[in-house]
Amino acid sequence: MSRPLIGITTYFDAARWGTWVREAVLSPPAYAKAVDKAGGSPVLIPPLSLGAIDGYVRGLSGLILAGGVEVDPGAYGEERDERVEEPQPQRDRFELGLVRAAVQAGVPVLGVARGMHILNVALGGTLIRWLPEAVHHERHAASTPHVIQVSVSSKVGKAVGDRIEVAVPHHQALKRLGEGLLAVAWADDQIVEGVELQGHRFCVGVQWHPERGDDNRLVDALVEAAMP
């Protein structure tokens, strides 16, 4: 059986190799390693021309929207919070277009951290721009492990069970859910930490990083959904 091609979104940044320092297309290797471990073939997608999106969607069997800097609030009609690091509007535009096309085509999608935010905004949702202010505590911004409750009937729950311990700091979170998205995982303060698109064979977003560590079950589920 052929291994499904799983696209992984990337970003531009300065990188050093040898004596050179140049702008490069970057992706943490954990994503590609997790896809390979799950039986897929990883394909890195640079955030370039919007005209390339249809070709990617036709050629890919699945898509991972990778983590990274926060989504530009202008993408959902709000102003930037100066406490948040500088956005990457080119990446935002490309990934918003890419995930909309992937959803329309029925391509399996896994949104990771920022990737869940991109999925939500692409479907008309909004974000909490500075989470500590909204919940009146700093627990989400810390790297302290905490337990997430998961709906056992959801695709996320079927992959990881009814709870999972995670440790991923974040300063933003989902506010109004995008059209068709259903909350399927929550922190103890009821901040949404996982969503899935109703009626889609596999379109999931989670606030944590399932590609890290030894628990590969969500990436396994994405690759399984992408199998022909």
Over the stretch 106-148, which tens digit does the pLDDT of each residue have? Answer: 999 999 999 999 999 999 999 988 777 666 677 776 777 889 9
- 36 by DSSP, 3-state: which? helix
What CA–CA distance (Å, rounded) separates 200 from 205? 13
Q: Specify whether the CB–CB gap between 226 and 40 falls below 8 A.
A: yes
* pLDDT exceeds cutoff 90 at 213: no
What CA–CA distance (Å, rounded) separates 200 from 208? 21
What CA–CA distance (Å, rounded) separates 205 from 119? 7
45-104, pLDDT tens digit by residue?
999 999 999 999 999 999 999 999 999 999 998 887 777 678 899 999 999 999 999 999
Give strand pairing partners of 204: 110, 196
What CA–CA distance (Å, rounded) separates 118 from 140? 19
Structure tokens at 7: 């696209």
Q: Specify whether the CB–CB gap between 216 and 201 falls below 8 A.
A: no
Enter the pTM of the model. 0.95
Structure tokens at 44: 């890195």
Handedness of CA 160, 157, 95, 63 (dihedral sign): positive
29-48, pLDDT tens digit by residue?
999 999 999 999 999 999 99
pLDDT at 37: 98
Pairing of strands 5-9, 203-206: unpaired
What CA–CA distance (Å, rounded) separates 147 from 12? 33
Task: Name the CA radius of gyration of the chain, rounded.
Answer: 17
